[in-house]
Amino acid sequence: MNFYIIIPAYNEETFIGKSLESLVHQTLVPKKVVLVNDNSTDNTAIIAATYAEKYDWITLVNHSSIQGHAPGQKIINAFHKGLATLDDHYDVICKFDADLIFPENYLDTLALHFCQDKKLGMCAGHCYILKNGTWQLESLTHKDHIRGALKAYRKKCFNDIEGLKPAMGWDTIDELLANYHGWHVYTDESLKVKHLKPTGLNYNQKANFSQGKAFYQMRYGFVLTLLGSAKLAFKKKNFKIFIDYLKGYYDAKKKKVGFLVSKEQGDFIRQFRWSNIRKKFF
């Protein structure tokens, strides 16, 4: 299978070389890798350029967007910048973070899963972070959820969901829309990916408000937003962000911010979420 990979990167000089090195040594080498240097002020572009010079299937694209960290919007806008440089001769399109180290059989194993299940729309492994000297599962979400750091989409699924939304919560919306269109989503626990920079390390109160806004834009409604906010706050062991999420939700509702999904898709999302909740408790 042909894998195209897009890696948005902002000030990742510490990690990007390690990440690209792990892709170079895949047993199934990707057909194309595009590193999008998104307004970095460090040596990210220089490091990426050395790989682009050595491997003709790696390219560097420089992109100027907003400075600093803007969860969701910034990274997806950079992804689209890279996507615009590619043709559509791929079987699987990937959005990877710039701080990952993949096991050598990562892409080979994904290809096997996609070949075995023709309705598999999205597939990935699990992120592990270094904690107390050992690599431990980064358990911010349910194991069945594919983390935003390592997304891989079958082409037809990617087209069905109409690409990625440049907003906080994009990495939940994509899975929900994949389910809406009848695609399967699968995570392989045997694929352990080293995540060198834990998720949310640079998140601030503004990012928390954006998460609450995302709940509104996904048409969750108040009760699901309440439960989702409580779950995330518990995972991160921070009650304050629970309040921030709810403030973000109500601010978006007050301002009547535009939704990211249609009414029909919103109905499906709520039913899907409630169905999963019932399965867990009953």
The C-alpha atoms of residue 282 and residue 266 are separated, in whole angstroms, by 24
| Greatest mean pLDDT among 73-82, 154-163, 192-201 | 154-163
**Mean pLDDT computed over 165-176:** 93
Cα gap 235→232, rounded to integer Å: 5
The residue to which tokens 């349910």 are assigned: 142
CA 58 to chain centre: 21
Average pLDDT over residues 137-141: 79
Ordered by start, the domain boundaries in the chain are 3-195, 205-281
Q: State the number of CA atoms in the 13 A half-sphere of 106 facing the CB.
A: 28
Structure tokens at 173: 């919306």
Angle at 201 between CA 164 and CA 233, to 5 degrees: 80
DSSP state of 262: -
Can you tell me the distance from the alpha carbon of 29 to that of 281, in angstroms, rounded to the nearest whole number? 43
- DSSP-derived secondary structure letter, 87: -
Model confidence at 143, pLDDT cuts 50, 70, 90, reads confident
Could you tell me which residues come within 8 angstroms of residue 235 by beta carbon, excluding any fewer than 6 positions away?
139, 140, 141
Q: Which CATH class is domain 3-195?
A: alpha beta
Q: What is the pTM of this model?
A: 0.91
Please give the Cα distance from 160 to 183 (Å, whole number). Answer: 10
Q: Please tell me which residue, 67 or 119, carries the higher pLDDT value.
A: 119
The pLDDT tens digits for 197-220 are 876 555 567 888 888 999 999 999
Average of per-residue pLDDT values in the chain: 92
pLDDT tens by residue, 105-138: 999 999 999 999 999 999 999 999 999 899 999 8
Q: Please, which contacts does 173-178 make with residues 24 or more away whose CB atoms are closer than 8 Å?
A: 173/218, 173/260, 173/261, 174/122, 175/122, 175/145, 175/146, 176/218, 176/261, 176/265, 176/268, 176/269, 176/272, 177/261, 177/265, 178/121, 178/122, 178/153
